[in-house]
Amino acid sequence: MSQFNQPASPEVVAAPVSPPRAGDPKSRIVDALMELAAERRWDDITLSDIALRASLSLADFRDHFPSKGAVLGAFARRIDRIVLDGRTADLAGESAKERLFDVLMRRIDALKPYRDALQSISDWARGDLLGSAALNGVMVNSMRFMLEAAGIGSEGPVGTLKLQGLAMAWNRVLDTWFEDDDPGLSATMAALDRELTRGDRLVARAEDLDRLTAPIRAVGRALLASRRTWRQRRRERYSDRHERDWDRRGEIADDPAI
């Protein structure tokens, strides 16, 4: 068959190009991911999909983020900033629970535009243990700042319990929020109040236990310190004796009478 009789090769179809988007590249990538998460399953979103939606090349995407999870971390920091920038001193005289309730409801307000995306991401995380663990780490970091905004400490063993407990409680509140169609969010507020009340009781017990066990921990630390000191003294004595033995051997070797 001559080259003139060969069938025509199929046309090369160019990849679709999204219209240009305004804003800095990082914000565009975050927006693109959340838009896509609201439209499809998390596992169906590729890095190329995000770059295309953000009107960026894949190379530009890589310059800013190494993974979809990293983009989610940036989204969490965006929400953190919105909440922290809106902090006021109006509740300074309220209880810790009321202050935290106000902070977390402001977080709900900041999340409203992304509810469908967050529900999709939450559904994915339930079936992915590694993904769930990674999201938990992101949420614990956010809750640290939410507690700080409410004037609640999060240091030490009890602080660690507060952070992890609040992250888990927050996930349960979000599950209620996903199904709450009331404009006043009555079910969401009731769930948040219930979770914070339960958390108050658990933290109070943990603080009581921390105070009761403080003397025991102090004795344990003292014993460990004394044991380390004893080991150190033993090593020093061995080292000194070893050096003296070598010095003595050197004297014997230098003795002209030998």
Any domain includes 107: yes
Any domain includes 227: yes
CB–CB of 55/19 below 8 Å? yes
pLDDT value at 120 more than 60: yes
Residue 174 structural domain: 94-243
Any domain includes 75: no
Any domain includes 220: yes
Any domain includes 5: no
Q: Provide the domain count of the chain.
A: 1
Q: Find the range with the poorest average confidence among 7-16, 29-38, 62-71.
A: 7-16
Chain segment 220-233, per-residue pLDDT in tens: 555 666 666 666 76
Tokens of 153: 């400490």
| Residue whose token pair is 């004037």 | 151
Any domain includes 235: yes
| Averaged pLDDT for residues 147-163 | 89
pTM of the prediction? 0.72
Tokens of 235: 């090593």
CB–CB of 108/191 below 8 Å? no
CA distance 25 to 32: 10
Chain segment 104-117, per-residue pLDDT in tens: 999 999 999 999 99
Any domain includes 66: no
pLDDT value at 91 more than 80: no
Chain segment 156-214, per-residue pLDDT in tens: 888 888 999 999 999 999 999 999 999 999 999 999 999 999 988 877 766 555 555 54
pLDDT of residue 3: 43
- Which sign does the torsion angle of CA 83, 86, 92, 94 carry? negative
CA distance 16 to 226: 70
Any domain includes 155: yes
